[in-house]
Amino acid sequence: MLRFLLVSGGGMSGLGKGISSSSVGQLLQYAGLAVTYVKIDPYLNRDASRLSPYEHGEVFVLADGTQTDLDLGTFERFVGNVGLTKLNSLTGGRVMETVREREAAGYYQGATIQVVPHVTDIICERLRQAAQTPVANADHATPDICIVELGGTLGDIEITTFLEALSRLQQAEDVQLHHIHVGLCPSTAGGLNHCGSVKTKPLQHSVRYAWQAGLPPSLVFARCGQILGLDTRRKIATTCRLPVEDVVSLHQVRSTYQVPRLLWEQKVHERLVHKFDLTHQVSANLRIFAQAPPRAPVPAPADQVVTVGLAGKYTTAEDAYLSVRKALEHSGYVHSVNVQIRRVQQEKDLVGCHAVLVPGGFGVRGVVEKLAAIRWAREHQVPFLGICLGFQLALLEYAQGVRGLRFRSAEIHPDQKYSAADPDVPFLIVKRPGNDQESLRVGAHPVCLDATSRAGRIYNHRPVVHERFRHRYCVDPAVAQDLRDVIVGWSQVTDVAGNQIPEVMELTDHPFFVAVQFHPEFVSTQRAASPLFAAFVAAAKVQAGLD
């Protein structure tokens, strides 16, 4: 029997379907079930790699190199490494690509290709495949439940095909499907405000869409600013044809990591286990879990604050660096400090910062400001962490500012002469071979570390660590020979000349100055903060005089 838990949203986007899916996944995992996850994005892009961070937030990278929506990152942060792959990310573009590939291969044998059944069949196949893929952190057991988050909102024209596919899927004899609908219950004071009375009409209307699609909700999560009263829940239950215990108050909390506790208090896990008829399988775990709620991180005292300056290209978009923000939050829990992130756009913004972070990015825009932030952190002995592009710029800044060496980057000034007086300044940063798609190095790769370095100590003296990458440009190992005194990490694989590519640098005469080519934020979770981010926040805490 394949079990699917659909999570949809209505009323407006951004209500918290991703947080709800991940929180439910964590509860079911604590109850002793193996859980996996699929994110459906109806847009016709093949994947998230070229989507604007201003509109969709960051591009999250899975271990197999799949570039996905940020909700898959949210799920990994809540549930841990369940072995998500390209099977767990389904876009409208990828579905249509499969249709075209099958047509070209003669799969349809001259039949007229239609949305039903040809497109819907591909969607069902992909969901079935994901639901049968073993879960990494459950001893590679077959998933008990596959959580399917449907992007967009009910009523959007883009998701019509996916709703039809899900409706057809639930009719299969070997499938059991239940549906959680996250709907909006705004306040008369505006949005999710704590004041005013709660209005249920938007939720009622979005639930009507679910009924029309043949997918009536099994539970309703009412997204609201304040705790729903019993009378309001009864009203929703009546209009949605549900028992009152299946209406869940999803109100505002201080941290997203408190949502699992919020759902546990309303016995969401017990309701789901009962609906999927799995009580006999996890009865012992449920009895234990009833006395031991999920632990929410303990917030630090209000006066324990460190300020981290974030000098990035997309700092005006809150979700563009979501994994970085969450990794800092995880590390703040480890060291009992509140990490306050300050957007850095010019050098004066750095004054008062206890640490500086330059994240990844592509392109020239903002490079001057990032180089200035790196120089300021180096000269003022303020803890610094550089990621991806931040690593390349840190190496350039050190070479020019400390060693007096003149290098340039193929990304920053690919066709420009460095100066009229000296046009032959070598490229320290070069593009990897191939076109834009072929040159992109993405996914988890091994990194060799100098065990005696600060980075080596941060990673517990492990000679090789596996981290996730997403970059098109890299350091030329031949040109970087003059900088080998600050390079403490290299790729395990070599370039065509047999040289290992530099991927980690640090300064020994600085409180904390480390830069890496990889993205450590992608593996940081609520339960296990990234070692590099944890060390960075520890250094910031010392800088703030809180240690």
User: Where would I find the beta strands (DSSP E) of 399-440?
Assistant: 408-409, 427-431
User: Where would I find the beta strands (DSSP E) of 104-227?
Assistant: 145-150, 175-184, 219-224
* Residue count (the chain): 547
Tokens of 450: 């100098």
Collapsed DSSP state (helix, strand, coil) of residue 506: strand
Nearest to 269 by CA among 244, 289, 298, 247: 289
Active site residue 353: no
Tokens of 357: 């972070």
The CA-atom distances, in angstroms, between 457 and each of 347, 391, 450, 489, 520 are: 32, 19, 9, 12, 16
Nearest to 472 by CA among 415, 384, 409: 409
Supply the angle between the helices 17-30 and 70-79 in degrees, to the nearest 10: 30
**Radius of gyration of the chain, Cα coordinates, nearest whole angstrom:** 25
CA 276 – CA 262 distance, rounded (Å): 21
Cβ contacts of residue 190 below 8 Å, gap of 6+? 196
C-alpha triplet 300, 253, 61: angle, nearest 5°: 80
In this structure, which amino acid lies at residue 225? G
Active site residue 388: yes
Nearest to 149 by CA among 172, 174, 130, 122: 130
CA 194 – CA 187 distance, rounded (Å): 7
Inter-residue contact 391 to 397 (CB < 8 Å) = no
Inter-residue contact 196 to 188 (CB < 8 Å) = yes
Inter-residue contact 28 to 269 (CB < 8 Å) = yes
Supply the angle between the helices 389-401 and 367-379 in degrees, to the nearest 10: 60
Torsional class of 363: left (φ above 0), alpha (ψ -120 to 50), beta (otherwise): left
185, 353, 388, 474: which is the annotated catalytic residue? 388
In this structure, which amino acid lies at residue 10? G
164, 467, 506, 521: which is the annotated catalytic residue? 521
Active site residue 438: no
- Pairing outcome for strands 2-9 and 175-184: parallel
Inter-residue contact 385 to 409 (CB < 8 Å) = no
Query: Bridge partners of 276?
Result: none
CA 207 – CA 47 distance, rounded (Å): 29
Tokens of 499: 């040289």
Inter-residue contact 355 to 539 (CB < 8 Å) = yes
| Other beta carbons less than 10 A from residue 189's beta carbon | 13
56, 179, 330, 519: which is the annotated catalytic residue? 519
- Residues 234, 235, 238, 241, CA torsion sign: negative
Catalytic residues: 388, 519, 521
